Amino acid sequence: MVIPNQNWSIYFYSVLRPEPDRFPYPTYGCLLRRAGMRLHHVVGGLYRITPDVDKFQELSPNEVLEIPMQFRAWTASRGDVFPNWFVSAPKTKARLLQSTAREDYGFIEPFTKPEQVQRDRHDKFRPYTPEDRYKTASISSNQNKDFNRPLVPTPRLVDIKDYSNTIKIDIKTWKIVVTDREFTKEAKFLSDKTSIGLASGDQSKAKIIVFTKTDEEILGIQGNAEEAYVLEIGIEEEKVTIKSRTRAGAFYGAISIIMLNQQVTSKTELELPVGTIKDAPRFGYRGLMLDVGRNFIQKVDVLKTLDIMALYKLNKLHLHVSEDEGWRLEIPGLPELTTFGSKRCLDESKANPCLPPALGSGPYTNSSGTGFYTMEDYMEILKYANDRHITVIPEIDMPGHARAARISMKNNEEFKLTDDADNTKYEAMAGYTDNAINPCIESTYKFIRHIMAAIKKMHEDIQPLKVFHFGGDEVAAGAWASSIQCMKLMRKDNDIKRYFVSRIAEIASELQLDLAAWEDGVMANPTKLYPRKFFKNPRLPLSIYPGICDLIKYSPVEFCFGPFRATKTKSKIVVLCHATHLYLDHAYEPDPEERGYYWAARYIDTYKSFGYIPDSIYDNVDNSLFGIPISKEKLCDGDACVPLTKAENIIGMQAELWTETVRSPEHMHYMLYPRLLAIAERAWHKASWETVEKQGERIQKKNNDWAEFATFISDREFNRLEAMGIKYRLPLPGVTVKDNILSAASVFPTLVIEYSFDEGKSWSQYDKPVDIKDQRTQDNSKPLLFRSRSHNGQRYSRVVKKEV
């Protein structure tokens, strides 16, 4: 079949703009002269290339055509190229280009040259060598396994003399007893998770786990005492006691029993160390944000995430349910939000209306680009979360990041989000020119009220809604410059953003809701918050702080931390979400094979998240975006570092999983775990090394703590995650060779490392240093291969090659 010179298009998605110097392209497309093709911008990051009638030469079978294009900015990862390109022609169904319909980057040539992995001449980051990984792994690989860490996150006070002195709990003979009905649900939760039966409240019996309410102040804790508990194991023979003042504390006591169990895989018994734990969290807010707007995350995967959050004592699930690329929650009375706004596909015939393909979702609706939670789904998520003492905070992002809502409502006059007379030309994030709802028309606020009231109603009988997150971030400059309605409004109020925020605050106040927003959503300008008087809701609004520098220029010496300005005033309370340490959409390594973004930091590995110091953000400084070392002194020269003056305004911290590159549950697991466990550790437990003044001493003590943590995670928690079906990221092993002796190590020490001397035909388990001369029997020029293996033997890391 000959490919003709007309009437077909190849569609692809790119976050990097092709041929940027020629944008905006002409209506008939930008000519790619060498290929005889034309490049067209469809919407956002979606582009298509078509044959030029005069320049394109018909292609015969097996002929190859190269189509050179230049792209804006840098690329240092094969993951920057999105999959699922497709071809379309009139009166035919779009077809995926099968070579691109894969998630292993196999359709992209390997990045092997320095200029492919370095962003510019200032970039000091290189892909790790086997020796680099060996050096990193040595921090944790030399740790003695006999350490005194009972569980993750680390409790406040532990009195366990001997971890080998244990009490064994036979699930058939032991019982769970509740002495106060208030703790009935917590006792049932523990019973369901352990298969230990419930019994009446007789405390005189042996072989019982007792839930007891106490009015005593636990540890003299203030602030987060509501979640404090005492766990006594075997202090009285064959008895375990959970004491707490509240249901939340009782729940975390039950969780600690589950996590202390040394027989993780046993179905017949628990084994707990004898001793006492007195515990309470560092922060009252310990969160995870899931972006289900860009790519949809199925309900079953959200529920599994809630299970894991509960185990590691995270208590806030921030659901980002709307985006430019999708609306994900059914709203009564507004069916178009989901019948149209939850679907992505190519619909040239307009027979099956949908949003356009984006983020590599392809032309069909059977991908992660499509999906939504019905009211029943959402309420099931709420109940599941509530049973695990996790608060769900819904986010409807506006006025920007709202293309799905805006396009969905364009024919609904009552709830319309656009001014028909507005012909403003602007460009927002991801290349959209129409993603902001109009804040100057009353139907916008009718829509917002309807949404907020509907979501509040869904929460009502399960988990009453207290906080509504309105996003507020990254609104394109001049988004309504030509809106007639906004011109009229500005005669009365010349600050449209302030007007929008105050109107939302007014609606929230009427519905008795507190507000949350991303930081720039409540900033009058880059250095000033809106005054408290603009917020009429019952309590102080919550500002989620993204941690992006105000002066970020991607310069080789820039460091991505903003000042603590939101904590200088009582007008805001703050949840820390610094992108440099807590954004789990970023790559684990500075490697072109790693999934994830790298705009805030070239990489964020588990060690980096573990080392985050929320109480002193400037102590987190290490390297610039381009790998140039930066000291705290250099960063804070003069008055550049605003001091923290209202520490009480920081109520917690939160991990973020944005989903531009997350298109499957496996991708989600890979990006979340094990980093989320390190963030849970920091949110619950303040390590002693965090307050050490001298940097060198602080790093050494942190490394000692990390070694224990990494060993515990790999020895205990990876088994737990595997049993739950979680496909956490397996690290690449480190390798070094000296005097023909090969040594290997893993950053998570108890993971199995395998090696091959015959190009992968056979694999051996690494147990101790290997003499290469004794192993090699044939071609000595072949590279040695290494990989990590999961505990259950079902998965492997990428393969590491070591030339010797």
Tokens of 259: 């996590």
**Cis amide prior to 556 (ω within 30 degrees):** no
- What is the residue-wise DSSP string for 95-154? EE-GGG--SS-TTS----SHHHH-SSTT----PPPHHHHHHHHHHHHT--S-----SSSP
Phi, psi of 431 (to 5 degrees): 85, 10
Sequence-ordered alpha helix ranges (H) in 524-597: 579-582
Strands 208-213 and 285-291: unpaired
Count H helices and E strands in the chain, helices first.
19, 34
Q: Cβ(804)–Cβ(737) under 8 Å?
A: yes
Q: How far apart are CA 722 and CA 650, in angstroms?
A: 34
Return the HEC string of 42-53: EECCEEEEEECC
Distance (Å, whole) CA 196 – CA 192:
7
How far, CA to CA in Å, does 596 sit from each of 465, 593, 668, 798?
33, 9, 11, 16
Contact predicate 609/682, CB 8 Å: yes
Q: Which helix (H) or strand (E) holds 753?
A: strand 752-756
Nearest of 612, 730, 701, 669 to residue 300 by alpha carbon: 669
* Identity at 741, one-letter amino acid code: I
**Cα–Cα distance between 620 and 173 in angstroms, integer?**
50
How far is residue 356's CA from residue 336's CA, in Å, rounded to a whole number? 15
Q: In what order do the strands lie in the sheet with 157-159?
A: 157-159, 275-279, 229-233, 239-244, 208-213, 175-178, 197-199
- What is d(CA 440, CA 434) in angstroms, rounded to the nearest whole number? 16
Task: Report d(CA 591, CA 551) in Å as an integer.
Answer: 27
DSSP SS3 for 458:
helix
Does the annotation mark 474 as catalytic?
yes
Kindly name the residue from 474, 558, 593, 708 that is annotated as catalytic.
Answer: 474
Length, in residues, of the chain: 804
In this structure, the number of other CB atoms found within 10 A of the CB of residue 195 comes to 11
Neighbouring C-beta atoms of residue 245, cutoff 10 Å: 18
Q: Compute the half-sphere exposure of residue 392: CA atoms within 13 Å on the CB side of its CA.
A: 30
Distances (CA, A) of 314 to 515, 581, 608: 21, 17, 19
**CB contact at 8 A, 484 and 422:** yes
Task: Report d(CA 483, CA 486) in Å as an integer.
Answer: 5
Closest C-alpha to 367, from 272, 298, 454: 298
SS3 63: coil
493 CB burial (10 A radius; 0-12, 13-18, 19+) = exposed
Please name every residue paired with 289 in a beta bridge, in sequence order, or none if there are none.
318, 656
Joined together, the tokens standing for residue 10 give 């190849």
Q: Which residues pair with 544 in a beta bridge?
A: 518, 575
Enzyme catalytic residues: 474
